[in-house]
Structures are given as structure tokens and as C-alpha cells.
Amino acid sequence: MTNPSLLILPGDGIGPEVMAEVRKVIDWFGAKRDLTIDVQEGLVGGASYDAHGTPLTDETMELAQSVDAVLLGAVGGPKYDNLDFSVKPERGLLRLRKEMDLYSNLRPAQCFDALADFSSLKKDVVAGLDIMIVRELTSGIYFGEPRGIIEEGNERVGINTQRYTESEIARVARSAFELARKRGNKVCSMEKANVMESGILWRDVVTEVHQAEYPDVELSHMYADAGAMQLCRWPKQFDVIVTDNLFGDLLSDAAAMLTGSLGMLPSASLGAPMANGRPKAMYEPVHGSAPDIAGQGKANPIACILSFAMALRYSYDQGAEADRLEAAIETVLAQGARTGDLLGPEGGTPISTSEMGDAIIGALDASL
């Protein structure tokens, strides 16, 4: 029996630092839980551009297609701001998503009890929060044609096209309904059917999939702007939210801040099943490359470690070990360990990136 495989793409900024802590966790599972993962490492984003003149080489793209899962750190930074759009670091990330056909982006927003006071919202609003936003990832306004900047008369015009097919909507709706069956059995679909034809189609197709295949799941609809308001008012009314690429981008970042820090939020991008029956998958923290703190040991590695926990659950069928890792993180937070982004108004002395990783390894040892 072959070991599960993983391609690590640390990327730019704080990516290599947080990924180093994930490597500690991977090594721990191999040594202490007999879960050996064959790990390969590659370049993406600015790091790849510096080495190869492209944000993602064909060779790395082929490798990503061949492994069980990809774990990405972060891409981008101000040193690449003046590059041509076609070779900006973010193009490497978008190429991975598009060519792997990772159409379903899972972004959990979970508030650990130890951090409930850290959110900008009242404790009773966020304590115990556990919602999942399912964002369509490979179509919509970020990919639609025509697009670009053109001359019209004596001024420039920027054009982006919101475009969805029935099949693109249906498959991400199925992903949300399947996930809801394993959680609270409730889906809220968000769009702008009041002003956008693509929103009308979105609502129609989600309803059709629900009626034909998932009548046991509770379905509601909400305009995306109202959804943003409700996320801030009472987020615990939601279980699974399914929405398009643009609104999913905005709503998931808003939901992320309910938990207090982007440094706590993982994500999974899933595609069609491979030969082994598991979906093609890429995992990444929601936070960016944070170039202002890169190389200083200040980054919070928890989002990247939680992204690996999602890989354990969705790509390696190791749900119990994912629970173990998440419980270890909760233990460490309950004991008061904080990187700088998690220090509240009362202040305190933050621990470093590597010290947080070591604390999590200690909690994993204690779990045995």
C-alpha cells in the first residue's frame, strides 16, 4: 500500500515560515501515529517568478495534478507589484485552481472558545460559532470573458463579465448540500437575484438541485448584501452558506474576522473525484503573504496547520486524526499561547511562529 502524497508550495512572505510548522506536524504524525505522508516541495508565486520567470512552471503544475493533495502557503508581495499582470504571483494560484478544476472552496469560520473575547463582536454573538462558506471558485466574474481595459472615446473602460452555466452552479450546490448533510443539514444560498440575471439563474439552479436530490436538507435564499449584514448581526443562524466566486470572496473574509484573526482561518478547494474516489484538492490558509512581518517569526501558523487538518479529513480519510490536531490547537489556545495577532487589548508577550508550532506538538504528545 502506497503512502498518501502531498505537494507543499510555501510561496512568498510568511508562507515558508508557517509551512515549516506544518512540516513539524506532518513529521509528528509519521513518528507517533504511523501516518507517513510522502511530501514533495515546489515553488509558486513570486518565489517561482524569481527562480523561473513564471509564477508556476509546467512541471510544478503537472506535479500538482499527480499528488493526493496540495498545501499552499501564500503568494505575492509589494516587490512584484509592477510585474505584468500575466506573471504576477497570484496568477500561479489561479492557474492551480483552474487547471485542477477546484470548483468548490470550503472556508470554515470557527470561533475557538479561548478567542471568543478577541472578536470585535460581542462574545455571545460569536462564542461557539461554526459555519462553513462554500464558494464557487473557477468561474464567475474572475474568469468571465470579455474582460480587460479598453479605450472608449476619450477614456478607459474596465470590463469584467459575470458568467455562470447551469452545470457550474449545480456542482457547487451539490458540494454544499453534501457537506450540510454531515453538519447541521441547513444551506443558505446567497446571490443578487434582484439585480443580476446570473443571480436569477443561480437561485433557480440551486432550487432545482435541492428539490431533485436533497429535499431532506433545509434550503433558504438570501441576497448577498443582506447576508453580509446577517453575518455581523447573528452569524450562528447559518450552517452552510453557498455562493458565487465574487460574493464568496467577500463574505468569507467578513466571516473570518468574526473569529478575531485571519491567522486562524484555513480553507480547502475541492474538485472532481480522482481514481481513488477522493476529490482533487488544494489547501491553504485564508491569510495573505503579510510581507510586513515576513522573516521575523511573528506569523501565526495556526491557519496553515488547520489547513493540513482539513487535508487529513478530506484527502486522507483521517477524520479522527484531524480532530486530534484541532483539539491540540484548542488546548494550546486555552492555555494562553498567543502569537502577536491574537493579543487582545490587555496586551501581553507574544510567542514566536516556531514556539506556537512547538506548543501544538506538545499538545499532540499529551493527547496520546
Q: pTM for this one?
A: 0.88
Cis peptide before 146 (omega within 30 of 0): yes
* Bridge partners of residue 148, in order along the sequence: 159
* Kind and range of the H or E run holding 74: strand 69-74
Q: Cα–chain-centroid distance for residue 211?
A: 29
3-state secondary structure of 139: coil
* 300 CB-side CA count, 13 A: 26
Verify whether residue 192 is a known catalytic residue.
Answer: yes
What is the DSSP secondary structure assignment for residue 352, as one 8-state letter?
P
pLDDT on residue 275? 77
Supply 211's cell numbers: 428539490
Catalytic site residue from 27, 117, 130, 225? 225
Catalytic site residue from 192, 280, 283, 341? 192
In whole angstroms, give the CA distance from residue 208 to residue 346.
51
Verify whether residue 58 is a known catalytic residue.
Answer: no
Q: Cα–chain-centroid distance for residue 269?
A: 7
Pairing of strands 38-41, 5-11: parallel
In whole angstroms, give the CA distance from residue 261 to residue 248.
18
- The alpha carbons of the chain give a radius of gyration, in whole angstroms, of 20
Q: Could you read off the pLDDT tens digit of each residue along the chain, which spans 368 residues?
A: 789 999 999 999 999 999 999 999 999 999 999 999 999 999 999 999 999 999 999 999 999 999 999 999 999 999 999 999 899 999 999 899 989 999 999 999 888 888 887 777 888 888 888 999 999 999 999 989 999 999 999 999 999 999 999 999 999 999 999 999 989 999 999 999 999 999 999 999 999 999 999 999 999 999 999 999 999 999 999 999 999 999 999 998 888 778 767 778 899 999 988 878 788 999 999 888 999 999 999 999 999 999 999 999 999 999 999 999 999 999 999 998 999 888 866 666 899 999 999 999 999 999 99
Task: Kindly give the residue spans of alpha helices, DSSP state H, lying in the chain.
Answer: 15-32, 46-52, 58-66, 89-99, 123-126, 166-181, 197-213, 224-233, 245-258, 302-314, 319-334, 353-366
Supply 86's cell numbers: 500575466
CB 219 within 8 A of CB 107: no
**Taking Cα atoms as reference points, which of 166, 111, 110, 120 lies closest to residue 139?**
166
pLDDT on residue 233? 93
Domain ranges in the chain with CATH number 3.40.718.10: 1-108+263-368, 130-258
Domain 1-108+263-368: homologous superfamily in CATH: Isopropylmalate Dehydrogenase (3.40.718.10)
Architecture of domain 130-258 in this structure: 3-Layer(aba) Sandwich (3.40)
Supply 256's cell numbers: 473570518
In whole angstroms, give the CA distance from residue 314 to residue 322.
10
Query: Residues 270-289, buried b or exposed e (16+ Cβ, 10 A)?
Result: bbeeeeeebbbbbbbbbbeb
pLDDT on residue 167? 97
**Taking Cα atoms as reference points, which of 360, 305, 313, 353 lies closest to residue 335?**
360
Provide the sign of the torsion angle of the four alpha carbons 286, 290, 291, 293, taken in this order.
negative
Verify whether residue 122 is a known catalytic residue.
Answer: no
* 272 CB-side CA count, 13 A: 8
Catalytic site residue from 103, 142, 214, 316? 142
3-state class percentages of the chain: helix first, strand second, coil last, to nearest 5 = 45, 20, 35
User: 166-181 and 197-213 helices cross at what angle (nearest 10)?
Assistant: 50
pLDDT on residue 154? 96
